[in-house]
Structure 1
Amino acid sequence: MEKRIIVQYRNSHRFDWTPGAWKRKTCRVNEITLEAEARTQDLTTLEAARLLGVSKLHVIDLLEAGEIDYHMVGTDLRFDAAEIASYKTDREHRDAESLVSA
């Protein structure tokens, strides 16, 4: 479980910090809430590429083709680890079928 702190500022903007990214901010705070979430593991483009055994550019090609889903965290692409593993097993199954039929 990942712990994170949600900070609600007076003007209703919410800022989210994980323990590794603390920064000192000076402002008036309306509420501070500690949340524990059971999140799925997110992979970076490089981690997804290594898991699939392909290049980062090929991972980008796969998401542009709509074969794998992604979401954005700020300006970074993130992939669900379970979905990448599922795509890998599907791809291996398709490759095995094409070898048998050839």
Structure 2
Amino acid sequence: MSCYRRLAELTRQMLGHARREEWGSLPALEEQCSALVRLLQQLEPVAQLDAAQRQEKLGLLRGIHSDRNEVRAKVGPQLLHLRDAVQGLQRQQLLRSYGL
């Protein structure tokens, strides 16, 4: 359960950074989340949870899902803006290479 609790905490942190538009903080947190997910994939088949733990896990997963959806909603427009900026720079470089 500690992995699920930690994953929930990390996604809450990611959401806080996304809300404050602190985009540079997100990659390191995402890497930590990915590492925890990989660990959970290894542990899950052998983990035995009682009814209370299953309920807690379900609540944590709902929160994680909600937080990640909001993070994606906030990051998506930023990624599109970044893509457009990169494409603009590529066009400028291409025009310069042809002397335009």
Q: Which TM-score bucket, shorter chain as reference?
A: under 0.3
Asked which structure has the greater RCO (Cα within 8 Å, sep 6+), the reply is 2
Q: Which has the higher helix share?
A: 2
With structure 1 as the length reference, what TM-score do the two structures score? 0.27
Q: Which has the higher strand share?
A: 1
With structure 2 as the length reference, what TM-score do the two structures score? 0.27
